[in-house]
């Protein structure tokens, strides 16, 4: 097991933290933290983000493992649904005689 | 006084929803002098180690570790408050008088918690040994015939289990890290070892409180098993240093202790009864 910091130059990697508040809910991103490895990241997350009974389950993911969409290109990326009302169910009229809709 | 004048300028602040009684498990009963002495031992151990860990706040190598050590220190302070609050009932003193107005010979903590730990190695060695002991202690204390001690033990056990986990994680990482981290860890584990035996010494008080106090010698087997597993995983030899001459349970303390007390108590003694 190598120890981050042994070269005196590198920092601990960044981890993204997801907490599930209750059974049946999804894990929600709550923030990020530094830790030398995954096990310590879980423990740091417990100290930082569950101090007031916020959760019953924690996921940590190394930040470099998360691929993000480009905020500068959100125009092209997210706005194309505009004007495509046929993507919404409400666009369609119900055919006569169709039940349970 | 009119109604308007009675309005608090700080507005309507209410903490009714928080269960304040949960901060002091086992409160509301009066301790016998013998049980009070035993509770003082346990409370002083927790109080002094908490004070020692407080030194690390803002000094830990990373923010996250700073918070972890601060959390552990606050857990220990919580245990100390519960024990000293209970112990003080035997002599009509409150928790602050117990913490701030007693002199060195009246403190009954062990020597391990007094030892300097202003380097990560010694701090970790001290914490590893003490948390391993506390897990055994509180697991047993939960079954004490005294309901206040049992209530404190039940609450504290879960917290110290996490403290031990934290110490084990760092022991494994420093042991398996660089040559330098391993060397310094081994020195620290050896240096703290002479203060371990005191934790497991029976005496007249613990013998007379059979069923109420935990017999210290009964905790040694579980402690040894915990450490044997950690040292094996870290590929370390168990230290062999001989026990130090101690005496904390009788109020005799090592040289560093006076400085710890002075720093902890000066403000409360300079301004007795001050509130903020």
pLDDT at residue number B21: 64
CB-based burial, B161-179: b 16+ in 10 Å, e otherwise:
ebbbebbbbbbbbbbbbee
A35 touches chain B (CB under 8 A): yes
pLDDT on residue B1: 43
Q: Which residue of B has its CA nearest to A38?
A: B169
Whether B18 and chain A come into contact, CB under 8 Å, resolves to no
User: Which residue of B17, B22, B62 to mutate against A (max A Cβ within 10 Å)?
Assistant: B62
Q: What is the mean pLDDT of residues B244-265?
A: 96
With pLDDT > 70 as the criterion, what percentage of chain B qualifies?
92
DSSP string, B1-32: --HHHHS-TT-----TTS-GGGGSTT-SS---
CA A21, CA B62: separation in Å to the nearest integer? 27
Which positions in chain B touch A44 (Cβ < 8 Å)? 64-65, 67-68
Give percent helix, percent strand, percent coil of chain A, each to the nearest 5. Answer: 30, 20, 50
Q: A77: pLDDT confidence band, cut at 50, 70 and 90?
A: confident
Q: Do A3 and B68 touch (CB under 8 A)?
A: no
Contact A39 B169 (CB under 8 A): yes
pLDDT at B19: 62
What's the pLDDT score for residue A96? 83
Minimum distance, in Å, between the CA of residue A14 and any CA atom of chain B: 11
| pLDDT tens-digit map of B147-193 | 999 999 999 999 999 999 999 999 999 999 999 999 999 999 999 99
Across chain A, what does the average pLDDT equal?
84
Residue B22 has pLDDT above 90, yes or no: no
In Å, how far is A87's CA from the nearest CA of chain B? 46
pLDDT, residue B87, reads: 97
What band does B11 get if pLDDT is binned at 50, 70 and 90? low
The shortest C-alpha distance from A62 to chain B (Å) reads 16
What pLDDT sits at residue A10? 63
Banded model confidence at residue B7, pLDDT cuts 50, 70, 90: low
Cβ pair B102, B264 in contact under 8 A: no
Shortest CA distance from A6: residue in chain B: B178
Of A37, A43, A51, the CB nearest to B166: A43
Q: Residue A87's pLDDT band (boundaries 50, 70, 90)?
A: confident
Average pLDDT of chain B is: 92
- Reported confidence tier of residue A39, pLDDT bands at 50, 70, 90: very high
Q: How close B208 comes to chain A (CA, Å)?
A: 40
Contacts of A46 in chain B (CB under 8 A): 162
pLDDT at residue B40 tops 70: yes
Q: Is A13 on the interface with B (CB under 8 A)?
A: no
Report whether pLDDT(B218) > 50: yes
Give the nearest partner residue to B68 out of A5, A39, A44, using CB atoms. Answer: A44
More confident residue, B25 or B166: B166
**Distance in angstroms (rounded) separating the CA atoms of residues B80 and B49:** 10
The pLDDT assigned to B178 comes to: 94
- Per CB-CB distance under 8 Å, the chain B contacts of A36 are 173
Using a CB–CB cutoff of 8 Å, tell me whether A47 touches chain B. yes
Question: Which helix (H) or strand (E) is B70 found in, with range?
Answer: helix B63-88
Does B68 contact chain A (CB < 8 Å)?
A: yes
Tokens 């092209």 belong to which residue?
Answer: A76
């Amino acid at each position: 097991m190598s120890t981050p910091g042994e070269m005196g130059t590198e920092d601990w990697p960044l981890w993204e933290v997801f907490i599930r508040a209750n059974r049946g809910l999804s894990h929600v991103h709550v923030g990020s933290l530094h830790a030398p490895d995954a096990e310590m990241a879980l423990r740091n997350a417990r100290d930082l983000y569950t101090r007031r009974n916020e959760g019953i389950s924690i996921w940590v993911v190394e930040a470099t493992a998360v691929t993000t969409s480009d905020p500068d290109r959100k125009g092209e990326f997210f706005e194309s649904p505009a004007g495509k009302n046929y993507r919404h169910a409400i666009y369609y009229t119900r055919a006569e005689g169709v039940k349970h809709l | 006084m009119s109604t308007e004048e009675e309005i608090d300028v700080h507005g309507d602040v209410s903490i009714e929803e928080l269960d304040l009684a949960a901060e002091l498990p086992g409160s509301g009963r009066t301790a016998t002098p013998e049980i009070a002495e035993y509770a003082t031992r346990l409370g002083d151990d927790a109080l002094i180690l908490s004070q020692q860990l407080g030194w690390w706040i803002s000094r830990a190598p990373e923010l996250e570790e700073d918070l972890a050590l601060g959390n552990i220190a606050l857990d220990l302070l919580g245990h100390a408050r519960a024990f000293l609050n209970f112990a003080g009932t035997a002599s009509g003193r409150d928790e602050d008088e117990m913490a701030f107005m007693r002199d060195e010979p009246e403190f009954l903590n062990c020597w391990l918690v007094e030892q300097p730990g202003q380097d990560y190695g010694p701090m970790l060695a001290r914490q590893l040994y003490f948390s391993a002991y506390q897990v055994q202690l509180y697991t047993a204390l939960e079954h004490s015939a005294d309901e206040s001690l049992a209530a404190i033990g039940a609450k504290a056990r879960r917290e110290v289990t996490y403290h031990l986990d934290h110490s084990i994680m760092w022991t494994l990482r420093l042991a398996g890290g660089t040559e330098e981290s391993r060397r310094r860890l081994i020195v620290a584990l050896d240096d703290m070892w002479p203060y371990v035996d005191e934790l497991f010494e029976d005496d007249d008080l613990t013998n007379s409180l059979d069923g109420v106090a935990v017999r210290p010698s009964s905790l040694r087997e579980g402690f040894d098993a915990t450490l044997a597993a950690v040292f094996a995983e870290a590929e370390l030899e168990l230290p062999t240093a001989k026990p130090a001459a101690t005496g904390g349970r009788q109020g005799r303390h090592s040289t560093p202790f006076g400085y710890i007390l002075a720093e902890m108590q000066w403000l409360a003694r300079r301004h007795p009864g001050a509130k903020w």
